[in-house]
Amino acid sequence: MKILVINTGSSSLKYQLLEMEKEKLLSKGLVERIGSEGSIVNYTIGNEKNKFQKDILNHTDAIKVVFDILTNPETGVIKDISEIQAVGHRVVHAGERYSGSVLITEDVVDALEECAFFAPLHNPANIKGIKACQLVLPDVPMVGVFDTAFHQTMPDYAYMYALPYEMYVKYKIRRYGFHGTSHRYVSQVASQLLGKKDSKIITCHLGNGASICAIRDGISIDTSMGHTPTGGLIMGTRCGDIDPALVPILENVEHLTAKQIDDVMNKKSGMLGVSGISNDFRDLEDALHNGNRRAKLALEMFDYRLKKFIGEYAIVLGGLDALVFTAGIGENDPETRYEACKGMEFMGIYLDEEKNAKTRSELAEISLPESKVKVYVIPTNEELMIARDTKEIIESMKKNSKKPDDELVMSN
Ligand code: ADP
């Protein structure tokens, strides 16, 4: 079965085409600057990377360009788009509506449109991607896989904010958590490595956006991001948790509007805001080694916050079997992993410093053999997880010979 995975942003579209028998990646790519002149198309077929520029006016045209790439008689990987048996879409926010992936029907699109209130930047873009695919592939079943779904298992005392209860009733203001597909994928790999399902795992997804998750027996019981992805850990340009009363203070002292404060907290804060240099850990570590004081402070703040969450989640889980690092920083930055594990021997975490220093972008156990808690680097693969969910839903749809307009939900 060939499955296309689509991840759309407001002006971008990422795709991967996978052959699911061997879970082999056939082609992947990224269309950027959709809607402006000279959109950029990057794609890989096999190991060959290609790039070209073209005016792509909207997401439907972007999908058509992707299909031209995939079916090109000389360089393509399929003869005809009819070989694509299903499409899996990454969607950011499903509110409290879905706790698993779902076959996309008109009702599902309506529900996701309602959830745009929660993710005004992301959901409308994701819906554009779904509609564009439906136009070009009207008869192909599609599945939605949501960033929030994995965390729907959090207990109410973990997801509620201590605001007036009516705020929850009226507006569904609560913690949702994000990066669920990544936390789910790496925790599944970790539990296979541990050789048991009844496990206590902490997964650290440390990319430009960063979150951490406490997972008991395969189920998310707490995560660091909140109602929006701004909460929790310190991130590339996001502040993470701050004293909420700072919002009206900023409004007064800097005369900022709500939108401007949102911009400060999401785009000008975090590692960039504190260091004044960059959101990228490679730049910050270079600056640190050149004696830059603010880069040092930003990195220390990041490590300190991360460590506090690890401790908190180990307590919430009542012990720990594995600590997992993933995403850009988690997979590639031994210094962050070292700082997170330093001084944690009392919790049974013993890092193999040599192995840690050598590990980049590969699956590895980086704890010492005597470490009670296994420490793993596990490269994330959200697209594969989306494709697996899509395959499972399509197969069960066929088995039950459901029509695509019956609602079909997969539990996590
Ligand atoms: P996102 O998907 O959230 O945009 P990624 O998971 O791709 O982010 O992570 C990007 C970040 O990973 C970069 O901003 C950088 O901080 C970090 N990163 C990538 N490569 C390295 C590296 N070799 N060493 C340290 N940090 C790295």
Examine the pLDDT at 404 and tell me if it is beyond 70. Answer: no
Q: How many CB atoms lie within 10 A of CB 155?
A: 9
Report the pLDDT value the prediction gives residue 81, as an integer from 0 to 100.
93
Instruction: Establish whether residue 332 lines the binding site of ligand 1, counting it when its CB lies within 6 angstroms of any ligand atom.
Output: yes
* Start-end of CATH 3.30.420.40 domains in the chain: 2-146+385-399, 195-380
Q: What's the pLDDT band for 380 if we cut at 50, 70, 90?
A: very high
Report the pLDDT value the prediction gives residue 407, as an integer from 0 to 100.
63
> Cβ neighbours of residue 300 under 8 Å, at least 6 residues apart?
none
For residue range 81-131, what is the model confidence (pLDDT) as tens digits? Answer: 999 999 999 999 999 999 999 999 999 999 999 998 888 888 999 999 999
Give the Cα-Cα-Cα angle 249, 251, 254 (nearest 5 degrees): 95
Report the pLDDT value the prediction gives residue 120, as an integer from 0 to 100.
86
Collapsing DSSP to helix, strand or coil, 375 comes out as strand
Report the pLDDT value the prediction gives residue 15, as an integer from 0 to 100.
96
Active-site residue, from 147, 222, 303, 389? 147
Mutate to test the pocket of ligand 1, among 186, 208, 299 (most ligand atoms within 8 A of CB): 208
For residue range 258-269, what is the model confidence (pLDDT) as tens digits? Answer: 999 999 999 999
Atom of ligand 1 nearest to the CA of 360: 23
- Measured in Å, residue 328 CA sits from the centre of ligand 1 at 3
Report the pLDDT value the prediction gives residue 408, as an integer from 0 to 100.
66
Examine the pLDDT at 406 and tell me if it is beyond 70. Answer: no
- 2-146+385-399 placed in CATH 3.90.380.10: no
Among 188, 187, 180, 189, which Cα is nearest to 209's? 180
| Contact criterion met (CB below 8 Å) for 222 and 154 | yes
Q: What's the pLDDT band for 21 if we cut at 50, 70, 90?
A: very high
For 195-380, CATH gives 3.30.420.40
With pLDDT > 90 as the criterion, what percentage of the chain qualifies? 91
Atom of ligand 1 nearest to the CA of 285: 25
Give the Cα-Cα-Cα angle 95, 100, 101 (nearest 5 degrees): 100
Q: What's the pLDDT band for 405 if we cut at 50, 70, 90?
A: low
Give the separation between CA 216 and CA 333, rounded to whole angstroms. Answer: 26
Instruction: Establish whether residue 88 lines the binding site of ligand 1, counting it when its CB lies within 6 angstroms of any ligand atom.
Output: no
Over residues 361-367, mean pLDDT: 97
Report the pLDDT value the prediction gives residue 411, as an integer from 0 to 100.
55
Which range, of 17-31, 107-121, 173-187, 305-319, averages the lowest pLDDT?
107-121
Tokens of 47: 């190991």
> Is the model more confident about 244 or about 48?
244
Which range, of 27-41, 249-263, 396-410, averages the lowest pLDDT?
396-410
| Contact criterion met (CB below 8 Å) for 328 and 206 | yes
Q: What's the pLDDT band for 153 if we cut at 50, 70, 90?
A: very high
Over residues 229-241, mean pLDDT: 97
Report the pLDDT value the prediction gives residue 47, as an integer from 0 to 100.
84
Examine the pLDDT at 172 and tell me if it is beyond 60. Answer: yes
Examine the residue annotation and report whether 243 is marked as an active-site residue of this protein: no
For residue range 24-55, what is the model confidence (pLDDT) as tens digits? Answer: 999 999 999 999 888 999 999 888 899 999 99
